[in-house]
Amino acid sequence: MSIDSTWLRCPNCFLDLSPVDDRTFGCETGHRFDRSKHGFLTLLPPKAPRTVGDDPGMLRARAGLLGSGAYTPISDALIEAVRSVSDSPQTRAAGESGSPLRVADLGCGTGHYSAELARALPELGFLLADRSPDAVRASLRALPAATGVVLDIWRPLPLRTDCVDVILNVFAPRNLDEFARVLRPGGTLLTVVPTERHLRELRRDGLMLDIPSGKSSGLTEQLSALGFATDSITAIEYPLQADATTRLLLADMGPSAHHAETLAQDATAGSTGAEATVPVTVSIELLRFTLAAGGDVWHA
């Protein structure tokens, strides 16, 4: 595992980071950051909130669910979207000759979607970033060639301005002002948001929190104000045949995990309802945006 410092800036003073020695990266001001034994850098700003992001239990549930192929249609749609970006004449004209398309997975979780992209498009370069050190560690196991960073998505990102070609943001928090700053003009933002129908059967049973309607339209309005144009909105909806184990993984992989206790007890007890395989609705929208050149974006 290695660190490509051309992605990175200091979270304290915002100057570029570069290698100081084999394990240490620093800026001209003198701030220093050591690479962990697991291969990632922790680049948190001063007085960052003491949140840790997804815990190991949530990550195990997510890895189990994604490894089952339950969300393969989402992965496939992301692959096709990034392939179309990579093949576009605008992308080839904007990039340096021979340089890989740079994909920043912001809120990477287990790294599943980036790993799927790398298998389909091995020429891509990746940054894997999350607030959870456990998530970044898991992501680097899935994609060892990537640069891994622990960061706070809600604060100014420790990423250089205009250093990203594609932002990948899948079921993750969004710092739109910072996304606009780090994305190069003409770059692409791909974000996956659930609709109000997503996993509605589990929500009906009280196992997950409700999803408000209109998330895509609100996001589109916010991004338009930052200079993003909407390229496409792709709806993906299908029934997932889910047994008790799969339903438990779906509930456990997100912030509603504590609501899954009843389902877990039923599954352990072997109740008829828990044993049954039932259809659960997967319903998301994949939104693709392009950042216009010369947009009015504030740079920290």
pLDDT digits (tens, 9 = 90+) for 23-60: 999 999 999 999 999 999 999 988 776 766 778 889 99
Predicted pLDDT at 76? 98
Q: Which residue has the higher pLDDT, 258 or 56?
A: 56
Q: Which residue has the higher pLDDT, 176 or 204?
A: 176
Give the pLDDT band (50/70/90) at residue 213: confident
SS (H, E, C) 123-167: CCEEEEEECCHHHHHHHHHHCCCCEEEECCCCCCCCECCCCEEEE
Q: Are 112 and 95 in contact (CB under 8 A)?
A: no
Mean confidence (pLDDT) of the chain: 87
Query: For 154-163, 191-200, 290-299, which range has the lowest pLDDT when averaged over its residues?
Result: 290-299
Predicted pLDDT at 42? 96
Q: Are 151 and 171 in contact (CB under 8 A)?
A: no
Predicted pLDDT at 255? 60
Q: Which CATH architecture has domain 5-291?
A: 3-Layer(aba) Sandwich (3.40)
Give the pLDDT band (50/70/90) at residue 89: low
Q: Which residue has the higher pLDDT, 297 or 247?
A: 247
Predicted pLDDT at 11? 97
Predicted pLDDT at 259? 45
Percent of the chain scored above 90 by pLDDT? 69
Predicted pLDDT at 298? 45
Q: The sheet that has 32-34: what strands, in order across it? A: 18-19, 24-26, 32-34
Give the pLDDT band (50/70/90) at residue 272: very low
The pTM of the full predicted model, rounded to 2 decimals, is 0.89
In tens, the pLDDT along 135-186 reads 999 999 999 999 999 999 999 999 999 999 999 999 999 999 999 999 999 9
> What is the rounded CA–CA span in Å between residue 281 and residue 185?
37
Dihedral sign, CA of 195, 200, 204, 206? negative
Predicted pLDDT at 263? 46
> What is the rounded CA–CA span in Å between residue 213 and residue 60?
29
pLDDT at 236 over 70: yes
Give the residue extent of every domain in the chain.
5-291
Give the pLDDT band (50/70/90) at residue 206: confident
pLDDT at 208 over 90: no
Predicted pLDDT at 214? 76
Q: Which residue has the higher pLDDT, 147 or 202?
A: 147
Give the pLDDT band (50/70/90) at residue 268: very low
